[in-house]
Homo-oligomer: A and B are copies of this chain.
Amino acid sequence: MSAEAATGEAWEDITPDAARRLVVAAVQAFAERGYHATTTRDIAGRAGMSPAALYIHYKTKEELLYQISRVGHQRSLDMLREARDGGGSAADRLAAAVRAFVRWHAEHHTTGRVVQYELGALAPDHYGEIVALRRQSEDAIRAIVAEGVAAGEFDVPEVPGTTLAVLSLCIDVARWFNPAGRRTPDEVGALYADLVLRMVRAEGGPVADRDRPEAGDGGLQAVQDLPDPPETADRRRSDQQ
């Protein structure tokens, strides 16, 4: 499978053709060099256009990133919700979620890198929208974990923290996966589903009255301790550390 085919697969829906070529080119460039190191000339060049032609389809470079980020996050969310709402035990559904999420991040690791690691370059309002999608993704995984604990199927030290670890493990696949390596996306998905089930599986029988999911939104906030907000011209010093 060629580089362009693998990247392009995720963007079949986009029309017209020139716009899709720009998105595919932007994904590849952003993944390779990062958003800020990528020039509009580079994107346009990869798409076979002059630098000016980019602006017919996208108002700014950031709008390209926003499109990529939004579609990628929505796709992730759909995938996780489908696993959450699928049939079977909590273990079945958690394994399905991890398998699908990891396989996607391996298969589309180029897109995955942009989606997961270039968030900070989004404009503040776009950033906020994406963070909302990320929270919902975490909600989906946490629901499965919490249900497994409530059913006595799982035994975890802490529901929100375990959820965070599971999500984190899956996301980082986009960073390290190398298609020239020894594992296929399917194999990584299977391995990770196995490892995650080991993390949450109850060793003995059902464990009652322990680590029940908290009522209301008590745990919802902690979810995925949020990444930094994007830079702005007037706030140069961060108070986050």
Contacts and interface: CB of A to CB of B under 8 A. Distances in A.
A239 to B, nearest CB: 7
B3 A237 contact: yes
B121 A231 contact: no
Given A34-B121, A117-B117, A237-B3, A168 B173 contact: yes
B33 A34 contact: no
A6 interface: yes
A165 interface: yes
A120 interface: yes
Q: What class of interface size applies to chain A in its complex with B? A: 35 or more
Contact of A172 (B37, B172, B199): B172
Nearest to A171: B172
Contact of A158 (B165, B191, B203, B225): B191
Interface string A205-241: 0000000000000000010111110010000111111
Interface in A129-164: 157-158, 161-162, 164
A84 interface: no
Given A157-B194, A194-B157, A199-B198, A168 B179 contact: no
Contact of A175 (B33, B36, B227): B227
B176 A169 contact: no
A173 B169 CA distance: 10
Given A195-B162, A225-B181, A34 B36 contact: yes
B240 A178 contact: yes
Contacts of A191: 157-158, 161, 165
B3 A240 contact: yes
